[in-house]
Each structure stands twice: as structure tokens, then as C-alpha cells.
Amino acid sequence: MLGATLVVLRVAAAAGRVLVWIATAVVAAALYHPIVAGMSRRVPRPLAVLLVLVVTLGATGVTVYRLVDDVVKETRRLQVTAPAAAARIERSGRFAELARNFDLSERTRNFVEEAPNRLRGGSPAEAVRSAATRGVAFLATGVLSLFFLLFGPRLIGSAAEQVTDPVRRARYERIAVAAYQRAVRYVRGSILMAIAAGLVGFLAARLAHVPGGAPLGLWMAIWDFVPLVGAGIGAIPIVVLASVEDPAQGVVLAGVFTAYQLFEGFILQRRVERTSIKVGPFVTIVGALVGMKLYGLGGALLVIIWLTFVLAVLDEATRPIGTGELVTPT
């Protein structure tokens, strides 16, 4: 067992990039499978997959074209205005001495300069090295996603047939299908809530004339994946920058974001969790930090999604037989 473990670890380390491609393709296929399955009732499955692919590529292209340039420009603007705002806090105000002791302006400058590197997964040199294989990665991930969408149900059915005991096979199928459905519902709900939080942050920053509305909204949307407290933490930079120019405006924004955090935590989050699974802040933060360190923002989201599925599997596996939602493999 020790030798086998060492071999598995060595193989995993050598094939880490390919394993990430496979994990990403599985997640993409899992999220699109319900749509493809619904369309397959009316059109052949290959045509349904093609339609989903065309719509996805079109929507992604439009989104990137409309948003990326704006985010880049406002990020550069934010890299200038944020340290200047921190310096003003150090010079005057109630918290001037505390800000100076904390070295707020220097820390803010380092943060806004390093944030783009963190989001793309490392230093510029590391980003260039990863960009050299990015085209291959997109191609491989896209082909694997199509493969899993077309033949995923058949592969899963073949895997289930390896369990010869019909009772155990039925239980494993129930656990896998129920966990998949709950994880997909949670991920979709979290994505929609993150988009809503990002739009709230972007609109609030624009209305308050806070520089860098697009990157600040994106920052708030990323933090919103952390349940209960994410939106509030993500809104802190907007409130601080608004307070530098007008303290009363900062107080108003703080109230707006607090109200949104309460609405999301007590209504939206609970509604998502009732139909899926409860994922606490600890798991989300740890998964995001590990994924961000390894593969940037995409790695953080990928790790969170896989952890959600693992938690759903564990929750379904520990339920007494005969309880839980009755699901049917599709």
C-alpha cells in the first residue's frame, strides 16, 4: 500500500495539468447536462450538445468583449486612486494614527498591484508560461467536455454495472445522482447570487462615483461565493473608497451592503440550501485559497465546486436508507 500510494502521488504530480483539464471538463459537462437532457427530449442529443456549445461560445465572447477592456482600464485607475485614498486616511481623520501604524497606504499599493497577478494565477512570468499552453488547455477541455456530454451517461452506467450486488448498486446510484443534483443546484444558485452581488457592487460604486466600479464589482462577486459573510467582506473596499471622499456617503453604502447581505443570507442563501446542501464559510475559504494558490481564480472556483459535490456525497451516504429525496438517474 505504501508503494502504491507513492506511485499514485508521483503519477498525480506528473499529470497534474491533464487532471485539471479532466476535472474542469467534468464540471462543465455536469453543469450543462440538465440543459442538454431537457433539449434531448425534443431533438437528438448531438444536436442539443451543438446548440448548447454555440450559445455558450457566443455568450462568452460577447461578455469578454464587453467587460474585459472595461475591467482592465478601471483596474489601472484603481491602482492609482486606492493608494492615494489610503494616504489621505493616514494624514487626517479619526483613524489616521491607526492607519499609519498599519502602514495602510503601502499595504494598499502592494495589494492592488498584486491582485491581477493573484487572479491570473501568479507572477507575469508564470502567467506567460501558462499562456503558452492555454490554447491547448482550452482545446483539450472543450473536447473532453463534449465527450462527457455525449457519452457521460453511458460511462456512468458502465461504471455502475461493475457493482454486481443489485442492492448496493441501487444505493450507490441513488447517492451519486442525489449528490450530483444537489451540488448542481447549489453551484447554480451560488453563481446567480454572485452575479447579483457583483451587479449591486458595480452599481453602488458607479452611483457613488467610486473609481474602479468594474473590478470592485468583480471583487465583490468573487467574495460572494463565501456563504453568510462574503458579500459584506467584498463590499469593504467600495465603502472605504467612498468614505474617503464623503463619510456620509460611505455610511449610506455600508447600510445598503448590510441590507443586501442580510437579504442574501437569510432569504436567498437559505432558499438555495433548502433545495441543495449547506456549505459553510470554512470549507469555501479553504478551498478557494488552495485553488487560488495552485491555478488562480479558475482553480479556486473548481476546487469549491468539487468540494460541494464531495460534501453532498458524504451527506447522502450518511443518511439512513429510505430517507431523502427520491431521484431517478437520467
Q: Name which residue leads in pLDDT, 182 or 93.
A: 182
**Mean pLDDT confidence for 20-32:** 88
User: Which SS3 state, helix, strand or coil, does residue 62 take?
Assistant: helix
Number of neighbouring beta carbons within 10 Å of residue 91 = 10
Per the CB < 8 A criterion, the answer to whether 150 and 45 are in contact is yes
pLDDT of amino acid 200: 92
**Residue-by-residue DSSP string for 176-196:** HHHHHHHHHHHHHHHHHHHHH
pLDDT of amino acid 196: 92
Q: Cβ neighbours of residue 35 under 8 Å, at least 6 residues apart?
A: 48, 52
Q: For the chain, give the percent of residues with pLDDT over 90.
A: 11
Q: Is 29 exposed, middle or buried (0-12, 13-18, 19+ CB in 10 A)?
A: buried
2 found inside a domain = no
Per the CB < 8 A criterion, the answer to whether 254 and 244 are in contact is no
| End-to-end Cα spacing for the chain | 37
145-182: pLDDT as tens digits: 888 888 888 888 888 888 888 888 888 888 998 999 99
Q: Name which residue leads in pLDDT, 94 or 131.
A: 94
Cell of 119: 487572479
Nearest to 204 by CA among 219, 191, 222: 219
Q: Cβ neighbours of residue 208 under 8 Å, at least 6 residues apart?
A: 238, 242, 249, 253
Expressed as residue numbers, the domain containing 105 is 14-317
81 found inside a domain = yes
Nearest to 237 by CA among 10, 225, 189, 221: 221
pLDDT of amino acid 130: 52
Banded model confidence at residue 327, pLDDT cuts 50, 70, 90? very low
192 found inside a domain = yes
19 found inside a domain = yes
The C-alpha atoms of residue 27 and residue 145 are separated, in whole angstroms, by 8
Per the CB < 8 A criterion, the answer to whether 26 and 148 are in contact is yes
271 found inside a domain = yes
**What are the start-end ranges of the H helices in 1-44?**
2-14, 16-40
252-281: pLDDT as tens digits: 999 999 999 999 988 998 898 888 888 888
Per the CB < 8 A criterion, the answer to whether 183 and 309 are in contact is yes
Q: What is the DSSP letter of 319?
A: S
Per the CB < 8 A criterion, the answer to whether 180 and 30 are in contact is yes
Q: Which helix (H) or strand (E) holds 155?
A: helix 134-160
Per the CB < 8 A criterion, the answer to whether 49 and 146 are in contact is yes
pLDDT of amino acid 115: 61
Per the CB < 8 A criterion, the answer to whether 249 and 242 are in contact is yes
pLDDT of amino acid 64: 67
Q: Can you say whether the dihedral through the CA atoms of 253, 259, 263, 266 is positive or negative?
A: positive
pLDDT of amino acid 322: 54
**Mean pLDDT confidence for 71-83:** 71
Number of domains present in the structure of the chain: 1
66 found inside a domain = yes
Q: Name which residue leads in pLDDT, 132 or 48.
A: 48
Q: Which helix (H) or strand (E) holds 80?
A: helix 45-91
302 found inside a domain = yes
Banded model confidence at residue 116, pLDDT cuts 50, 70, 90? low
The C-alpha atoms of residue 170 and residue 327 are separated, in whole angstroms, by 11
18 found inside a domain = yes
